[in-house]
């Protein structure tokens, strides 16, 4: 995973993704005292950056592998991303989802022709079911965050942002499974002199923050965060990258996440999901520290259930 | 009001407004069977096209007039537009609002230093209070929709859209007080060969539709529409323009407005207010008629109360 790999990945996935816009907001600059550059992956295909990693992972498979399809377990954006990427590339996607997953998530997968395989709502059942499909169908397993091809694909969002604004002081992302911040950190490392990468994480699911402190992958015991995409833990592929290249992780309270989300909705008139608001909440919490700096924020996604908003 | 006036107005207000982006959506093109071009005035300063007309109206005043300030009666976007335009130009804005106007609207005006003068919640009280301020302060009265300078300013949104996409077959806007559709119709008339202008209007507040039928300005007796910006009626300045240059008005039901709004929120991840969804609802209702055409829609504004959404 070096500079050339990232350049190759960017070229390879380009035809299948949007080059998303970078938005600025005078009002939010005034409120924060920071020069903000929002990379709008909420406008990405299927509504989140996840299509980048999913597309790259599938394109990395051999012809023979592709013919047998891909399988993942996810009830979130990665399920839709794999379904859409597989559809575009004309291959089969098997999506393992807990039987109690919200209908809106299931519909998302069906829209893109993903085949849903239901299982019990435990991590063990998910993994066992995905392993069974892998065996039965010969499908390749794609991990939502802990796989090199996924990490590299995710890094292309930051690469585009840095092409547009090469002089950023800071790059910020949310931290869930670690796939986005790891890819972003690689991009910052290989394509800037000294742009720091900082993560935002919910206080009640601060596994990554604790992992950086202890030096080993920590897990969450509470998950009760509005940022439903950030309940997962880091993995052995992305953790070493995060240890090496991420400056630090800032933790935020639930009300800070909701307030940051509301500010972006009201002031920028764009829809972002709660997980996506976490780095902006982290910035607002520490705004004095970032005064007058140029800060790029990856707005990770915009898939929300409009009937169930936190405000 | 000819081609040269419009060009002058565009030049004059340019430093004070955003040139808003034109967004496309493959998904909404597929759903509608139409090639859609959305002019995003929801991203405009203060969140709506109204800043265009307000700015032009103030810039049209003499130095002496400006020093005495401006007055308007509005509890909607025009109140904020006049407040912001006046603030930018360093003059005083008096905003007459009904005493029962929502706090969120009052706060919007205060953000931009507008001075609120409260009155009873009747059209008579509003007009009498505005007239009193006009007399007492010597302030110039600005009308939200029925004033040439406001109509011309509003027309610049369509001018920009037509500069970006000169080959539109249709231009659509909502119809409330008539100021936006009149300006848009002038732009289409002077800057295209045969681009038709079509309005969208709520069935329960279809005064403009009936006005075009009867040939005189009609009024609403019901106002119970989610599209709260479209409850007003046409005026003697904009009605003749609408009669002359608008092709027709399509009426839509309340559930069609909400469905169109939801589609834009969910698919485009942008926030638009209910009034703004009305032309898109009108298009969807008649999509067969517009098949494969290039249709520009002015997304008029994005100011919604997030605590009080219709879904």
Domain finish residue from B141, B158, B178: B141
Same domain, A161 and A133: no
Q: Chain B closest CA to A262's CA: distance in Å?
A: 8
Contact B43 A269 (CB under 8 A): yes
Structure confidence at residue A85 as a pLDDT band (50, 70, 90): very high
| pLDDT, position A67 | 97
Strand pairing report for A170-174 and A294-299: parallel
Question: Tokens in use for A256?
Answer: 């800070």
Contact A306 B309 (CB under 8 A): yes
User: Which helix (H) or strand (E) covers residue B252, if one does?
Assistant: strand B248-252
Contact A42 B302 (CB under 8 A): no
Nearest Cα residue to A175 out of A211, A147, A214, A134:
A211
Provide the number of structural domains found in chain A: 2
Inside any domain, residue B226 = yes
Q: How far is CA B279 from CA A125, A127, B48, in A?
A: 48, 48, 15
**N residues, chain A:** 311
Domain finish residue from B109, B141, B173: B141
What residues contact A105, with CB distance under 8 A and at least 6 apart? A75, A76, A79, A97
Q: Chain B closest CA to A229's CA: distance in Å?
A: 18
Beta carbon pairs, A and B, within 8 Å: 36
Domain finish residue from A103, A126, A141: A141
- Tell me: pLDDT of A123 over 90: no
Considering only the beta carbons, identify the residue of B262, B271, B309 that sits closest to A269.
B271
Return d(Cα B13, Cα B31) in angstroms, integer.
Answer: 36
Inside any domain, residue A309 = no
Number of helices and strands (H, E) in chain A?
13, 10
Same domain, A65 and A188: no
Listed range (A119-123, A198-202, B17-21, B42-46) with the worst mean pLDDT:
A119-123
Residue of B nearest to A302 (CA): B269
Considering only the beta carbons, identify the residue of A21, A265, A307 that sits closest to B271.
A265
B224 burial (CB, 10 Å; 0-12 / 13-18 / 19+) is exposed
Contact residues, chain A, for B262 at CB < 8 Å: 306
pLDDT along chain B (311 residues), means of 10: 96 98 96 98 97 98 98 92 97 94 87 95 91 97 98 98 98 98 98 97 97 97 91 96 98 98 97 98 98 98 92 89
Listed range (A51-55, A109-113, B37-41) with the worst mean pLDDT:
A109-113
Contact residues, chain B, for A302 at CB < 8 Å: 269
Same domain, B159 and B288: yes
Residue of B nearest to A299 (CA): B269
Return d(Cα A300, Cα B250) in angstroms, integer.
Answer: 38
**Stretch A184-211: mean pLDDT, rounded?**
98
| CATH number (domain holding residue A198) | 3.40.50.1100
- Which of the 8 DSSP states describes residue B48? B
Domain extent for B277? 3-48+148-299
Residue of A nearest to B303 (CA): A266
Active site residues of A: 50, 75
User: What ipTM was predicted for this assembly?
Assistant: 0.94
What residues contact A29, with CB distance under 8 A and at least 6 apart? A35, A36
| pLDDT, position A167 | 97
| pLDDT, position A96 | 96
Considering only the beta carbons, identify the residue of A47, A307, A311 that sits closest to B306.
A311
- Tell me: pLDDT of A222 over 90: no
Active site residues of B: 50, 75
Considering only the beta carbons, identify the residue of A262, A266, A271 that sits closest to B265.
A271
Sign, Cα dihedral of B183, B189, B195, B196? positive
Same domain, B108 and B195: no
Contact A306 B306 (CB under 8 A): no
Nearest Cα residue to A231 out of A171, A170, A278:
A278
Question: Tokens in use for A268?
Answer: 């920028």
What residues contact B311, with CB distance under 8 A and at least 6 apart? A306, A307, B258, B261, B262
Same domain, B22 and B128: no
Contact A269 B47 (CB under 8 A): yes
Nearest Cα residue to A258 out of A301, A194, A311:
A311
Considering only the beta carbons, identify the residue of B43, B266, B272 that sits closest to A306.
B266
Q: Chain B closest CA to A107's CA: distance in Å?
A: 13
Contact A270 B271 (CB under 8 A): yes
Same domain, A269 and A226: yes
Return d(Cα A37, Cα A20) in angstroms, integer.
Answer: 12
Q: Chain A closest CA to B45's CA: distance in Å?
A: 10
Mutate which: B25, B84, B269, vs A, most A CBs within 10 A: B269
Inside any domain, residue B307 = no
Same domain, B292 and B169: yes
Residue B244, number of CB atoms within 10 A of its CB: 11
Considering only the beta carbons, identify the residue of A262, A271, A306 that sits closest to B270.
A271
Same domain, A263 and A173: yes
Contact residues, chain A, for B269 at CB < 8 Å: 42-43, 47, 270-272, 302
| pLDDT, position B184 | 98
Query: Per-residue b/e over A165-187, b at no fewer than 16 CB within 10 Å?
Result: beebbbbbbbbbbbbbbbbbbbb
Listed range (A161-165, A303-307, B14-18) with the worst mean pLDDT:
A303-307
Residue of B nearest to A264 (CA): B271
Question: Tokens in use for B156?
Answer: 């610049």
Residue of B nearest to A306 (CA): B311
Contact A269 B269 (CB under 8 A): no
Q: Chain A closest CA to B109's CA: distance in Å?
A: 15
Inside any domain, residue A289 = yes
| pLDDT, position A105 | 84
Inside any domain, residue A232 = yes
Inside any domain, residue A245 = yes
Number of helices and strands (H, E) in chain B?
13, 10
What residues contact A238, with CB distance under 8 A and at least 6 apart? A145, A146, A151, A177, A178, A179, A181, A182
| pLDDT, position A223 | 83
Same domain, B174 and B289: yes
Inside any domain, residue A307 = no
Residue of A nearest to B304 (CA): A266
> Do A306 and B262 meet the contact criterion of CB atoms below 8 Å apart?
yes
Same domain, B187 and B242: yes
- Tell me: pLDDT of A121 over 90: no
B29 burial (CB, 10 Å; 0-12 / 13-18 / 19+) is middle
Contact residues, chain A, for B266 at CB < 8 Å: 306
Q: Chain A closest CA to B288's CA: distance in Å?
A: 23
Same domain, A69 and A37: no
Inside any domain, residue B304 = no
pTM of the model: 0.95
> Do B176 and B275 meet the contact criterion of CB atoms below 8 Å apart?
yes
| pLDDT, position A166 | 98
Task: For residue A36, list its beta bridge partners.
Answer: A295
DSSP code string of A163-211: HH-TT-SEEEEE-SSSHHHHHHHHHHHHH-SS-EEEEEEEGGG-HHHHH
Task: Give the residue, B308 or A271, on which the prediction is more confident.
Answer: A271
Same domain, A290 and A172: yes
Distance in Å from the first CA to the final CA of chain B: 42
């Amino acid at each position: 995973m070096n500079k050339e790999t990232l350049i190759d990945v960017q070229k390879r996935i380009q035809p299948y993704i949007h080059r998303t816009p970078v938005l600025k907001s005078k009002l939010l600059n005034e409120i924060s005292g920071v020069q903000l550059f929002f990379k709008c992956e909420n406008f990405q295909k299927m509504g989140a950056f996840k299509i980048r990693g999913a597309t790259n992972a599938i394109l990395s498979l051999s012809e023979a592998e592709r013919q047998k399809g891909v399988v993942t377990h996810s009830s979130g954006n990665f399920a839709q991303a794999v379904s859409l990427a597989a559809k575009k590339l004309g291959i089969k996607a098997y999506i393992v989802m807990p039987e109690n997953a919200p209908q809106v998530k299931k519909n998302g997968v069906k829209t893109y022709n993903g085949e849903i395989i239901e299982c019990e709502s435990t991590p063990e059942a998910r993994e066992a079911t995905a392993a069974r499909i892998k065996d039965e169908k010969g499908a390749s397993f794609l991990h939502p965050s802990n796989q090199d091809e996924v990490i590299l694909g995710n890094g292309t969002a930051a690469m585009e942002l840095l092409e547009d604004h090469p002089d950023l002081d800071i790059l910020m992302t949310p931290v869930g499974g670690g796939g986005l911040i790891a890819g972003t950190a690689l991009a910052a490392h290989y394509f800037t002199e000294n742009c720091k990468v900082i993560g935002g994480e919910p206080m009640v699911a601060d596994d990554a923050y604790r992992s950086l402190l202890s030096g080993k992958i920590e897990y969450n015991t509470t998950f009760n965060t509005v940022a439903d995409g950030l309940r997962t833990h880091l993995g052995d592929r992305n953790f070493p990258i995060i240890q090496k290249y991420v400056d630090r992780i800032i933790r935020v309270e639930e009300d800070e996440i909701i307030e940051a989300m509301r500010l972006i909705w009201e002031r920028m008139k764009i829809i972002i999901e709660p997980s996506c608001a976490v780095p902006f909440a982290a910035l607002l919490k520490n705004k004095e520290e970032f005064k007058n700096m140029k800060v790029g924020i990856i707005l990770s996604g915009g898939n929300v259930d409009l009937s169930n908003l936190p405000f």
